[in-house]
Amino acid sequence: MAQTNEGTGDDKLTLVIGNKNYSSWSLRAWLALEMTGAPFEEIVIPLDREETAAAIAAHSPSRRVPVLKHGAFQVWDSLAIAEYLADLFPAAALWPSDRQARARARTVTAEMHAGFATLRKTMPMDLRARRALPPKAPALDADIARICEIWQDCREHFGQDGAFLFGSASIADAFFAPVVSRFATYRPQLSDAAERYVATIWEWPAMQSWAAAAEQEPWHIENP
C-alpha cells in the first residue's frame, strides 16, 4: 500500500457499500478504490430492507452509502472519497496529470455528481435488468444528450487517443460508469461515439468484476 496520511489510526481501508446491482453511488467509490490497487475490505449492506437504515447508520454519519473508512477516519460522500483516494495514492494518477485536463475532469465529474436528476429518477440503476426505455420526455432527452456531449468533448480534446475520457481510466470514468449501466439496461439510441464509450466502460475489467458480483447477489428490489 502507498504511504498514507498521518492521524488515521492505521492503514486499513474499508469501503461500506449498498447492493452492487442497485447502488450507483457505491459503484463510483468502489471503482476509484479499485484503481488505486490498494487492498481493502468490503462491507455490502442490502438496500430497501427493514434493517437497512440501522445497518448503514452503524457506519455512516450521513446514514448513506458509500462510506470509506481509513483506520478510524471516515469519508462518506462518493466524490469526497474519490478526492481522498487521489491524495492518498498519488502514484495511481486518479486524475489526469495535465492541468487543463485535470480541471475538465473535475468539472464533468462534479456535473455528474450533482446533476441529471431526471435520468437518475426515470432510469434507476439495475444491472441485471433489461427494460424498455421510459416514455419520451424533453428533460430525459436533454440529460442523455448532455452526457453524450460530455463524453464526446472529453475524448476528442483530452482522450489522447485512448478509449477512456482522458486517455487512461480516471475518476471521471468511475463517475459515469453508473450511467453506462443504465444505458445497458434501457438501451436509448446513442451516437456511434457514445456507444464506443459505453463498450469501453462495460468491458473495463473493474466494471466486469462489479457486474459479476451483482449477478450473484440474492437481494431483489421491486422498484429500485
Residue ranges making up the domain that contains 130: 99-209
As given in the structure block, the three cell numbers for residue 79 are 466524490
- pLDDT tens per residue across span 92-119: 999 999 999 999 999 999 999 999 999 9
Sheet-wide strand order for 41-45? 41-45, 13-18, 67-70, 73-75
List the CATH number of the domain containing 179. 1.20.1050.10
Measured distance CA(107)–CA(131) in Å, rounded: 31
Residue 40, Cβ neighbours under 10 Å: how many? 16
Domain boundary among 53, 69, 92: 92
At residue 164, the 3 state secondary structure works out as strand
Q: How far is CA 134 from CA 12, 19, 24, 47, in A?
A: 43, 23, 19, 23
Q: Compute mean pLDDT per 10 residues along the chain, 224 residues long, and list them.
A: 42 96 98 98 96 95 96 96 98 97 98 97 96 94 97 93 92 98 96 95 98 96 82
Q: What is the CATH number of the domain that holds 76?
A: 3.40.30.10
